[in-house]
Chain A
Amino acid sequence: MSAEEFAVADTCFLIDWAYWRRRNVLPGLFRAVFVPEEVLREVKSESTLEWVAENLATGSFALFTETQDVVGFARAVVERSRMLPIRGVDLPEAVCLAIGKMRGYIVLTENRGALMAADALAELSGVRVWRSLDLISQAFRRGILGGDPEAVFMEYEEDTGHMFPPGGVEGRNR
Chain B
Amino acid sequence: MGGVLSRGIERWLRLEEEAREIRRKQADWKFIESQPPRLRIALRLYVEAGDLYVASRVAGLTVEEFNELRKRARIPNVC
CB atoms of A40 and B49 under 8 A apart:
no
Q: In the docked arrangement, what's the CA distance between A49 and B42, Å?
A: 9
Residues of A in contact (CB 8 Å), total 11
Chain A residues lying within 8 Å of B37, measured Cβ to Cβ, are 46, 49
> Are A53 and B58 touching (Cβ within 8 A)?
yes
Interface contact B45-A37, CB-CB below 8 Å:
no
In the complex, A15 has a CB within 8 A of chain B: no
C-beta contact mask, B41-71 vs A, less than 8 Å → 1, else 0?
1101100110101100110100000000000
How many chain B residues touch the partner (CB < 8 A)? 14
A57 contacts the other chain (CB 8 A): yes
* A37-73, CB < 8 A from B: 37, 40-41, 46, 49-50, 52-53, 56-57, 63
Q: Is the CB of A63 within 8 A of B57?
A: yes
Hey, which chain A residues are within 8 Å of B48, CB to CB?
Answer: 57
Q: Which residues of B contact A56 (CB under 8 A)?
A: 45, 49, 51, 54, 58
With A56-B54, A57-B48 known as contacts, the answer to whether A41 contacts B42 (CB < 8 A) is no
Chain B residues in 8 Å Cβ range of A40? 57-58
In this complex, what residue of A is CB-closest to B50?
A57
Can you name the residue of chain B whose Cβ is closest to the Cβ of A55? B45
Partner of A37, one of B38, B44, B49, B57: B57
Chain B residues whose C-beta falls within 8 Å of the C-beta of A53 in the assembled complex: 41-42, 44-45, 58
Q: How far is the CA of A63 from the CA of B37 in the complex (A)?
A: 20
Complex Cα gap A40–B54 (Å): 10
Closest to B44 in A: A53
A/B interface sample: 8 pairs, CB < 8 A: A41-B57, A46-B37, A49-B58, A53-B45, A56-B45, A56-B54, A57-B45, A63-B53
Binding site for A on B (CB under 8 A): 37-38, 41-42, 44-45, 48-49, 51, 53-54, 57-58, 60
Closest 9 CB pairs of A and B: A57-B48, A46-B37, A53-B45, A57-B49, A53-B41, A63-B54, A49-B41, A50-B41, A57-B45
